[in-house]
Chains A and B, each alone.
Chain A
Amino acid sequence: MTPFDLMKAKLTRRAFARSALIPVAALALAPMMTPAMSQPKQGGVMTMSLDPEPSILVSALNSASPVYVVSSKMFDGLVTYDKDFNLIPRLATAWTVSDDGLTVEFKLRDGVTWHDGKPFTSEDVQFTFMEILKKLHPRGKGTFANLQSVETPDAHTAVFKLAAPTPYLMRALAGAESPIMPKHIYKDGDPMRNPANTAPVGTGPFKFGEFVRGSHLLLQRNENYWDKGKPYLDQLIIRFIADSASRAAALESGEVQYGAQYVVPLSDVARLGKNPTLEVSTDGWEYNTSVNYFEFNLRKPQWQDVRVRQAIAHAIDKDFIVKNIWHDFATAAKGGPVTIKQSDFYTDDVPQYEFDLKKAAQLLDEAGYKAGPDGKRFSATIDYSPSGDTFRQTAEILRQNLAKIGITLTLRAQDGPTYVRRVWTDNDFDLNIYSVSNIADPVIGIQRLFWSKAIQKGVAYSNGSSYSNPEMDRLLEAGMVENDPEKRRQIYKQMQQIAMTDLPTFPIVYIDWFSIYNKKVKGLNTTALGLYENFSDVSIEE
């Protein structure tokens, strides 16, 4: 059995179990149920806030987070995922994988139309993967490297031909990461300059209404959505509010009913949580979960001794960071680079670096960095991602932590393009703090940080430390083509043990993203995609 068959079997079993359970549950719950609970209310408008404003509205061409948020409402993918990463059908209704793992056949949904009324067919799927995602998606060339062709035996069958088994393929098919694009709109001209990029035509539950830069995006209900009766909302309004205090005020006044990730400062969440009309939840972020990393530039001689890196790992007070910077919306990293939310690959069976300044000092002594008469050993700079205050605050804590073992850190503030150029093009840094989304599978989310082939000038969030270890490369490359889920899990367990032994880059915290929403809003966070889900299940209950 291939992993896809396993997934499918699991899905079927679960679906069966669910259908078998429903009558029992319904009976048990019957006295408590009110009519409002049984059927979501049709109609209504939900306003959500988003910042920064997306530059374009199509995530096939731009993988920035705000683009994912808006694009996923208008474009569906072949599948989506429940919270355990089981596949849920969307534009594909069924899939079979050949025993050698080299052919995947998708049955496509009948009777789906594009927002302009044209029918959706397998040609669209072929065009999307071969002409758009493989060529123009920023990550697509890597993710779909093994995809050689998509055959279209009939209008509702798409057959993927792979050069090698691609176990992570099925995890890259959600509407946010791999939206199915309309061939008839994009086949002529440069897709990057297509006017539909700011006025999309998709198959998703919401249709493009208007896009007013600096203000909002208005989406209308797609009356012809294949999932009859859905979406429940008549309109979805996405307002671009740049100021976090204004966002908090808009949530409090009820003008905005949903916001997520950085919607309000972490220090403000507790206050908003006390508001009786609002709900704070960390549910539904399994797919889009992030890890804050600490990175050494191994090109610099002082970091080349692993004892120095271990010393610094011992000098970081993660629990303090979780409490004071993240206000408990994060988990101190006791495991490897895979976040604790991805239970498939997470492991804490790795070398541990508990907060221990004595041990840190001792390791530095052993490495030959003795403290001078003034207690100082050496100084270094630390760069940090400019997106959000948490990175700067973490760097400040680190400066205090490291000062205690005689290392003087200088914080370097800079804006986005300066930061990216310094770290990943010029490699002109000592230490670095940033975060990366894990995105469903280690190949998509983790590999680029540790693979020697990912030492690439100019590519942000690739292997910036210049870490190279043949054993690590071997494991990562084996993980890319291993079809047996259990063997694959072992590969990534080993990989994480090596990562935590060598420490070129290591996790500080696993972020627990939160969303804040008005209690009238139902049906959010039902899948693993959270903010990136298509919102066809969202309703407003008065």
Chain B
Amino acid sequence: MKSLAPYVMRRLGHGVITVAAIIVLNFIILHLAPGDTVDLLAGEFGAADPQYLADLRARFGLDQPIYIQLGQYFWNVLQLDLGYSFRNATPVLNLILARLPATLILMLTAILVAFTAGLLLGVVSARRVNTLTDDVISVLALLFYATPLFWLGLMGIVLFSVKLGWLPTGGMYTIGGRFNWLQSILDVGRHLILPAMTLALYHMAIYTRLMRASMLEVYNLDYIRTARSKGVMPRRIAFRHVLPNAVLPMVTMVGIQIGTLLGGAVMIETVFNWPGLGRLAFDAVFQRDYNLLLGTMLFASSLVVVINIFTDLIYAVLDPRIGIK
């Protein structure tokens, strides 16, 4: 195999340009919206005197022309400084890092569950195509795909928290609890079940449909017919001949979905009061918190670039024909 380094470097170079373009675009779009952080604060304060508001604008640098603010932002980013969130009175990096673990735990769990379950269900569906099992799986997948996430989540809360009292209604862990590390993990796990499962059901539906279609397509290829005519066992055909080739579109899909990881679960975070990054970015828009929004965008877009490179590398490993150019 050729050395990966030049390829990865080239892709990273493109990535940096992409990320910079995303920041500029976001910056401009956010500034096109009327009002700024001080307008938001002025609304929240109930009343304030004009000099106070002018002082705040000067303090936040909002009295500067937009290109100066943008230039200042890039200069700060080059020094690995994501700026200060005036609304939250905290450096942006601290805010993001504090939220990152919650997002990663939720999204990775959900995608892992969804991927595994979707893969299995897709395989089962494809192997029993046009039977009752296939129909049931397809209908369920369609149902979970079409049901609004927040509704699914709320029904989960009503059933498992309010009626049965088995699981907490929200939050990430028991606040103020004194636990050892094992109890802490179990505690987070208990809080994770409902949000992760709600999110997983939705993604699982996509994976199931994708895997089923992909399997069926490969089943129609000539080499499968050859294998069949040689008398290879159906199970062996499914798992040794079809599955490895059918899984490629799934890898693409996981790559795309991990890309949306940072901001993709605003609904779930809202319903389950999960302290993730999606909600942070969402609020930043409504609070005209420029630095915070740009910071989360920087994080998210960098992640997408890196994940894309990884996806391509995994592709190359799974299918040697694709190779790296």
In contact, A64 and B171 (Cβ under 8 angstroms): no
Residues of chain B with a CB closer than 8 A to A63's CB:
44-48
- Asked if B48 contacts A417 (CB within 8 A), the reply is no
Q: Is the CB of B36 within 8 A of A417?
A: yes
Residue of B43, B165, B169, B288 touching A460 (CB-CB under 8 A): B43
Binary interface encoding of chain B residues 127-160 relative to chain A, with 1 for a CB under 8 A from any of its CBs, else 0: 0000000000000000000000010001001100
B254 at the interface (CB under 8 A from A): no
- Contact of A416 with B35 in the complex, beta carbons under 8 Å: yes
Contact of B271 (CB < 8 Å), options: A65, A139, A246: A246
Which residues of the other chain, A, contact B54 by a CB distance below 8 angstroms? 458
| Interface stretch of the complex, out of B83-91, B181-189, B222-230 | B83-91
The segment from B115-123, B209-217, B272-280 found at the interface with A is: B272-280
Q: Name A246's contact: one of B42, B95, B170 (CB within 8 Å).
A: B170
Q: Quick check: A252 and B53 within 8 Å, CB to CB?
A: no
Out of A55, A56, A212, A214, name the residue touching B279 (CB < 8 Å): A214
Residue B286 interfacial (CB < 8 Å): yes
- Contacts known (A250-B169, A416-B35, A421-B39); A456 close to B50, Cβ less than 8 A: yes
A425 touches B95 (CB 8 A): no
A64, B150: Cα distance in complex, Å:
29
Contact of A213 among B34, B99, B158 (CB under 8 A): B99
**A237-259: which residues lie under 8 A (CB-CB) from chain B?**
237, 239-243, 245-246, 249-250, 252-253, 255
In the complex the two chains form, is B89's CB within 8 Å of A55's CB? yes
- Decide yes or no whether A329 CB sits under 8 A from chain B: no
A190-198, A296-304, A496-504, A510-518 - interface stretch: A190-198
Picked from A241, A250, A420, A422, the residue with its CB within 8 Å of the CB of B42 is A420
Contact of A138 among B47, B168, B273 (CB under 8 A): B47
Residues of chain A within 8 A (CB-CB) of B171 are: 215-216, 239
Complex Cα distance A112/B36, Å? 41
Residue of A nearest to B278 (CB): A214
B124 at the interface (CB under 8 A from A): no
Q: Chain B's nearest CB lies how many Å from the CB of A223?
A: 16
Report the bound CA distance from A246 to B150 in whole Å.
Answer: 10
* A542 adjacent to chain B (CB < 8 Å): no
Whether B46 pairs with A436 at a CB distance below 8 angstroms is yes
* Min distance, Cβ B167 to any Cβ of chain A, angstroms: 10
B45 touches A47 (CB 8 A): no
Which chain B residues lie closer than 8 Å to A422 at the CB level?
34
Which chain B residues lie closer than 8 Å to A437 at the CB level? 46
The contact string, 1 if C-beta is below 8 Å from chain A, for chain B 187-210, is: 000000000000000000000000
Inter-subunit contact A448/B39 (CB<8 Å)? no
> Would you call B176 and A235 a contact (CB within 8 A)?
yes
Nearest B residue to A385 via CB reads: B43
Q: What mask results when residues 41 to 77 of chain B are scored 1 for a CB within 8 Å of chain A, else 0?
A: 1111111111111100001000000000000000000
**Cβ-defined contact, B99 with A420, below 8 A:** no
A442-464 contacts to B, CB under 8 A, are 448, 456-462
From DSSP, what is the main secondary structure of chain B's interface residues?
helix
- In the complex, which residues 248-298 of chain A have their Cβ closer than 8 Å to any Cβ of chain B? 249-250, 252-253, 255
**A213 and B88 contact, Cβ closer than 8 Å, known pairs A239-B273, A240-B273, A425-B39:** yes
Total interface residues in chain B, CB < 8 Å: 59
- Which chain B residues border A448 with CB–CB below 8 Å? 47
Give the residues from 198 to 250 in chain A that come closer than 8 angstroms, CB to CB, to chain B.
198, 209, 212-216, 218, 235, 237, 239-243, 245-246, 249-250
How far in angstroms is the closest Cβ of chain A from B52?
A: 6
Set of chain B residues within 8 Å of A424, measured between Cβ atoms = 42
Q: How far is the CB of B40 from chain A (nearest CB, A)?
A: 5
Known contacts A215-B171, A249-B169; A243 and B270 CB within 8 A of each other:
yes
| Interface membership of B172, Cβ < 8 A | yes
Q: Is B43 touching A419 in the complex (CB atoms < 8 A)?
A: yes
Cβ of A45 within 8 Å of any chain B Cβ, yes or no, is: yes
Q: Is the CB of B41 within 8 A of A249?
A: no
C-alpha spacing A178/B154, complex, angstroms: 40
Q: Please report the C-alpha to C-alpha distance between residue A195 and residue B157 in the assembled complex, in whole angstroms.
A: 37
Q: How far is the CB of B312 from chain A (nearest CB, A)?
A: 34
A62 near B45 (CB under 8 angstroms)? Answer: yes
Cβ–Cβ contact B288 & A417, under 8 A: yes
B48: chain A residues within 8 A (beta carbon): 63, 138-139, 459-460
**Once the chains bind, are A64 and B44 in contact (CB under 8 Å)?**
yes
Kindly state the separation between the CA atoms of A55 and B41 in the bound complex, as whole angstroms: 10
A420→B157 CA distance, assembly (Å): 36
Other-chain residue from A65, A215, A387 in contact with B275 (beta carbon distance below 8 A): A215
User: Pick the contact of A237 from B88, B165, B175, B287 — CB < 8 Å?
Assistant: B175
Bound: A452/B268 CA distance, A: 47
**Cβ of B191 to closest chain A Cβ, rounded Å:** 11
Contacts A141-B52, A213-B98, A235-B176 given; does A245 touch B271 at CB 8 Å:
yes
Query: Is there an interface contact between A417 and B88, defined as CB atoms closer than 8 Å?
Result: no
CB distance from B100 to the nearest CB of A (A): 11
B260 within 8 A of partner (CB): no
The answer to whether A242 touches B46 (Cβ under 8 A) is no
Query: Nearest A residue to B271 by beta-carbon distance?
Result: A243
Alpha-carbon distance between A235 and B123 when the two chains are bound, in angstroms: 52
> Measured between C-beta atoms, what is the minimum distance from B159 to chain A in Å?
10
When distances are taken between beta carbons in the complex, the residues of chain B under 8 Å from A188 are none
Task: With a 10 A CB-CB cut-off, give which of A209, A235, A458 has the most chain B CB atoms.
Answer: A458
Contact B172 A215 (CB under 8 A): yes
Chain A residues near B175: list those with CB within 8 A.
47, 215-216, 218, 237, 239
| A66 nearest in chain B by CB position | B44
A375 at the interface (CB under 8 A from B): no
Contact A139 B47 (CB under 8 A): yes
Q: Mark B26-43, 1 if CB is under 8 A from A, else 0.
A: 000000011111111111
B46 A417 Cβ-Cβ under 8 A:
no
Shortest Cβ distance from residue A259 to the other chain B in the assembled complex, whole angstroms = 13
B275 touches A198 (CB 8 A): no
CA distance A252 to B160 in the complex (A): 12
Per-position contact with B for A127-145: 1 when CB-CB < 8 Å, else 0? Answer: 0000000001011011000
Whether, in the assembled complex, A39 has its beta carbon less than 8 Å from a beta carbon of chain B, the answer is: no
A19 adjacent to chain B (CB < 8 Å): no
CB of B161 within 8 Å of the partner chain: yes
Inter-chain contacts of A213 with B (CB < 8 A): 88, 90, 95, 98-99, 275, 280
Residue interface mask B272-296, A partner, CB < 8 A = 1: 1111100110010011100000000
In angstroms, Cα B43 to Cα A422, docked, is 12
Contacts A243-B273, A246-B170 hold; do A212 and B98 have CB atoms under 8 A apart?
yes
Q: Which of A139, A142, A197, A421 contacts B35 (CB 8 A)?
A: A421
- Whether A415 sits at the interface, judged by CB under 8 Å, is yes
CB proximity of B309 to chain A, nearest CB, Å: 30
Q: Is B232 an interface residue (CB 8 A)?
A: no
Q: Which residue on chain B has the smallest CB distance to residue A462?
A: B47
- Assuming A198-B90, A415-B286, A418-B35, is B47 touching A242 (CB within 8 A)? no
- A417 CB contacts on chain B under 8 angstroms: 33-37, 39-40, 43, 286-288
Give every chain B residue within 8 A of A136 (Cβ-Cβ). 52
Q: How far is the CA of A218 from the CA of B178 in the complex (A)?
A: 13
The 10 closest A-B pairs by CB, nearest first: A417-B35, A214-B275, A138-B48, A64-B44, A138-B45, A417-B39, A421-B35, A215-B275, A460-B42, A420-B43
Could you pull out 24 A-B pairs where Cβ atoms are within 8 angstroms?
A63-B44, A63-B47, A64-B46, A138-B48, A139-B46, A198-B89, A212-B275, A213-B275, A214-B274, A218-B175, A240-B273, A243-B150, A246-B154, A246-B271, A250-B169, A253-B169, A417-B33, A420-B43, A421-B35, A421-B39, A425-B39, A448-B47, A460-B47, A461-B46
Beyond A416-B35, A458-B38, A461-B46, 17 additional pairs, beta carbon < 8 A: A55-B87, A63-B44, A139-B48, A214-B275, A215-B172, A215-B273, A241-B273, A245-B271, A415-B33, A417-B43, A417-B288, A420-B40, A420-B43, A436-B46, A456-B49, A458-B39, A460-B42
